[in-house]
């Protein structure tokens, strides 16, 4: 089968789990923005920012290292998998023990005194997520996209069920609005003062519950370490640890930085904690771009390594980036042009205060995906130190730009910082790849699509007709026409791949 079309098919399957999962999570999003005041949603936003950093530390690059070594030593894949899983299991338990041990200083530092149980719950979430990461990676390497998707959706279903049970069903029964016969039972298991805890407990149950689907992947596993393979995986993976931390800094720092670097009173009537919650809420509307990137990443990482030895690999990777940008630009325009509809996912009108920053956040996510595509050159040439340097530069730019721009432009400053960091990282990665491992990316065409899409979005958002419905029809009509024109121009050129 055509390798590019096979990648598209696998991306679609991984996308199903992501799209369906995120869509189901979107069913929770209106509920959360209705149940939680903006300040409480700020707590959720901040804790998940820190969890994102810790996820990288818990895995320390071994997921990508597994792909690299399993592709190179196919006959010893089981030994490589056993060594990696044993290492992650030991370190995950150690890291979670440290978190529990220092729970009080951590919650005091975050100004959540007396909430140590937040740390206890997240210690469990992080451990389960790290331990199951390699079995998930194995499914991806084996091309078991359907099982991967099914398992992911099952975990998400657990999360959603528990959220709906406590935040909706139990709340309504407790308030006497429905099923009064169940009030006694509900009062024994439900506490209206623990709404945040129920969200985190649901995540913990979802992270642990997928063991029922992943259990076959653990059959025959021996908790043994092959020192030669594991030391090689560590050497390959440790630069990716710093790369991952820098990437999370670029992606997540703005959401935590608002609380600390935004001058109090910048937005009259809102505290910094509330603005953090509002920004975290509108960030959810930009998640569709990240969704596509995530689905692409699941399929592309093993794809890059498996196709690297083919003679046409450079042309294939260049063509892949072009198509990624095309679909990314269509997503960018599609979400931006439909904010008048998507805003109703934010049930509390306070969250809609920052709706106008969503197109900028989408652009930042698009360049994040471009940067991920460009990372292929240093991963495939075992020069992962380049990724560390590039992302550290991006992290420094993100920190400095947030520090300078948030006091000046508020949450827009955070969004501008993200765009700037990813653009500069992409430029550095592309320039470096030209000297070390050149890939013929169609740069002119890629820039054309991005610039034209940005111009169309700007003009479309400036449209001010008397009918919102008419505006939506015109904007979406533009997207459909653009997609058809691109298809006619580009599809014939891709058949050679």
Q: Where do the structural domains in the chain lie, given as residue ranges?
A: 3-494
Fill in the DSSP letter of residue 271. -
Answer whether 248's CB lies under 8 Å from 390's CB.
Answer: no
Stronger pLDDT, 260 or 124, i.e. the higher one: 124
Q: Please state, in angstroms and rounded to a whole number, the distance separating the CA atoms of residues 319 and 296.
A: 14
Q: Please state, in angstroms and rounded to a whole number, the distance separating the CA atoms of residues 109 and 336.
A: 37
Q: Taking CA 445 as the corner, what is the angle to CA 299 and CA 356, rounded to the nearest 5 degrees?
A: 75
Answer whether 92's CB lies under 8 Å from 24's CB.
Answer: no
Percent of the chain with pLDDT over 90: 22
CA neighbor of 149 nearest in space, from 24, 332, 49, 307 = 24
Stronger pLDDT, 241 or 401, i.e. the higher one: 401
Q: Please state, in angstroms and rounded to a whole number, the distance separating the CA atoms of residues 342 and 468.
A: 13
* CA distances (Å), origin 337, targets 66, 332, 405: 41, 9, 26
Estimate to the nearest angstrom the gap between the alpha carbon of 314 and the chain centroid: 27
Q: What is the pTM of this model?
A: 0.73
The tokens 């050129």 sit on which residue? Answer: 493
Contacts of 280 (CB under 8 A, 6+ apart): 41, 42, 44, 45, 255
Q: What is the pLDDT of residues 271-282, one digit of tens each?
A: 888 888 888 888
**For 261, what's the count of Cα atoms within 13 Å in the CB-facing half-sphere?**
21
Paired tokens of 457: 């979005």
Paired tokens of 188: 């024994």
Q: Please state, in angstroms and rounded to a whole number, the distance separating the CA atoms of residues 46 and 350.
A: 18
Helices (H), 262-380: 272-285, 287-307, 313-337, 339-342, 358-374, 376-380
Residue 190 pLDDT class (50, 70, 90 cuts): confident
Paired tokens of 318: 């260049």
Stronger pLDDT, 288 or 186, i.e. the higher one: 186
Residue 497 pLDDT class (50, 70, 90 cuts): very low
**For 367, what's the count of Cα atoms within 13 Å in the CB-facing half-sphere?**
29
Stronger pLDDT, 430 or 313, i.e. the higher one: 430
Residue 62 pLDDT class (50, 70, 90 cuts): confident
CA neighbor of 271 nearest in space, from 32, 39, 40 = 39
Strand, helix or coil for residue 337: helix
Q: What is the largest CA-CA distance in the chain?
A: 72
Question: In the chain, helix, strand, coil percent, each to 5?
Answer: 85, 0, 15
Residue 396 pLDDT class (50, 70, 90 cuts): very high
Q: Among 69-83, 174-188, 202-216, 302-316, whose mean pLDDT is lowest? A: 302-316
pLDDT of 11 > 60? The answer is: no
Paired tokens of 39: 């300040």
Estimate to the nearest angstrom the gap between the alpha carbon of 8 and the chain centroid: 19
Residue 284 pLDDT class (50, 70, 90 cuts): confident
Q: Please state, in angstroms and rounded to a whole number, the distance separating the CA atoms of residues 169 and 115.
A: 25
Answer positive or negative: Cα dihedral of 376, 380, 383, 385: positive
Answer whether 472's CB lies under 8 Å from 334's CB.
Answer: no
* CA distances (Å), origin 55, targets 95, 120, 127, 246, 418: 11, 15, 9, 13, 21
Q: What is the DSSP string of 11-80?
A: HHHHHHHHHHHHHHHHHHHHHHHHHS-HHHHHHHHHHHHHHHHHHHHHHTTHHHHHHHHHHH-GGGHHHH
Q: Please state, in angstroms and rounded to a whole number, the distance separating the CA atoms of residues 218 and 63.
A: 16
Answer positive or negative: Cα dihedral of 31, 34, 35, 37: positive
Contacts of 299 (CB under 8 A, 6+ apart): 7, 10, 11, 13, 14, 140, 145
Backbone angles phi, psi at 262, to 5 degrees: -80, 125
Q: What is the pLDDT of residues 404-457, one digit of tens each?
A: 999 999 999 999 999 999 999 999 999 998 887 777 888 888 999 999 999 988
pLDDT of 9 > 60? The answer is: no
Residue 16's pLDDT is what? Answer: 57
456-483 burial by CB neighbour count: b if 16+ within 10 A, else e? bbeebeeeeeeeeeebbeebeebbeebb
Q: Please state, in angstroms and rounded to a whole number, the distance separating the CA atoms of residues 32 and 41.
A: 8
Paired tokens of 465: 């007709």
Q: Please state, in angstroms and rounded to a whole number, the distance separating the CA atoms of residues 294 and 302.
A: 14
Answer positive or negative: Cα dihedral of 217, 219, 224, 228: negative
pLDDT of 496 > 50? The answer is: no
pLDDT of 26 > 80? The answer is: no
pLDDT of 8 > 60? The answer is: no
Helices (H), 381-464: 384-409, 411-436, 443-462
pLDDT of 75 > 90? The answer is: no
Stronger pLDDT, 144 or 90, i.e. the higher one: 90
Average pLDDT along the chain? 82
């Amino acid at each position: 089968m055509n390798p590019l079309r096979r990648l598209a098919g696998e991306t679609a399957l991984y996308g199903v789990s992501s799209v369906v999962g995120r869509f189901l999570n979107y069913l929770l999003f209106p509920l959360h923005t209705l149940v939680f005041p903006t300040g409480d949603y700020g707590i959720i936003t901040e804790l998940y920012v820190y969890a994102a950093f810790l996820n990288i530390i818990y895995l320390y690059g071994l997921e990508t290292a597994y792909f690299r070594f399993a592709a190179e030593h196919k006959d010893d894949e089981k030994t490589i998998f056993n060594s990696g899983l044993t290492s992650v299991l030991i370190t995950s338990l150690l890291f979670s023990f440290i978190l529990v041990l220092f729970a009080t200083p951590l919650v005091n530092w975050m100004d959540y005194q007396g909430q140590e149980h937040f740390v206890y719950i997240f210690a469990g979430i992080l451990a389960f997520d790290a331990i199951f990461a390699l079995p998930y990676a194995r499914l991806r390497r084996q091309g078991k996209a359907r099982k991967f998707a099914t398992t992911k959706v099952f975990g998400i279903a657990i999360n959603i069920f528990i959220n709906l049970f406590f935040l909706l069903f139990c709340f309504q029964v407790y308030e006497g609005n429905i099923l009064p016969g169940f009030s006694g039972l509900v009062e024994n298991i439900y506490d209206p003062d623990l709404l945040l805890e129920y969200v985190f407990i649901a995540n913990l149950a979802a992270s642990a519950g997928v063991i029922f689907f992943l259990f076959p992947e653990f059959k025959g596993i021996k908790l043994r370490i092959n020192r030669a393979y594991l030391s090689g995986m560590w050497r390959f993976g440790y630069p990716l640890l710093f790369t991952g931390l820098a990437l999370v800094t670029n992606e997540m720092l703005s959401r935590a930085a608002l609380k600390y670097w935004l001058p109090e009173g910048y937005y009259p009537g809102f505290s910094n904690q509330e603005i953090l919650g509002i920004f975290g809420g509108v960030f959810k509307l930009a998640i569709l771009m990240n969704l596509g990137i995530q689905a692409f990443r699941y399929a592309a990482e093993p794809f890059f390594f498996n196709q690297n030895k083919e003679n046409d690999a450079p042309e294939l990777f260049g063509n892949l980036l072009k198509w990624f940008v095309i679909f990314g630009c269509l997503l960018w325009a599609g979400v931006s042009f439909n904010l008048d509809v998507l805003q109703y996912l934010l049930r509390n009108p306070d969250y809609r205060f920052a709706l106008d920053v969503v197109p900028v956040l989408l652009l930042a996510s698009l360049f994040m995906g471009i940067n991920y595509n460009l990372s292929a050159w240093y991963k495939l040439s075992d020069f992962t130190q380049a990724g560390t340097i590039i992302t550290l530069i991006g992290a420094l730019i993100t920190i400095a730009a947030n520090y300078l721009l948030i006091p000046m432009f508020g949450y827009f400053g955070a969004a501008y910082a993200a765009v700037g960091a990813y653009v500069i990282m992409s430029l550095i990665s592309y320039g470096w790849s030209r000297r070390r491992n050149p890939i013929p990316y169609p740069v002119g065409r890629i820039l054309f699509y991005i610039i034209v899409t940005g111009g169309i979005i700007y003009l479309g958002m400036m449209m001010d007709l008397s009918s919102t419905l008419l505006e939506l029809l015109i904007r979406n009509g533009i997207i459909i026409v653009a997609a058809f024109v691109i298809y006619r121009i580009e599809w014939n050129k891709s058949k050679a791949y």
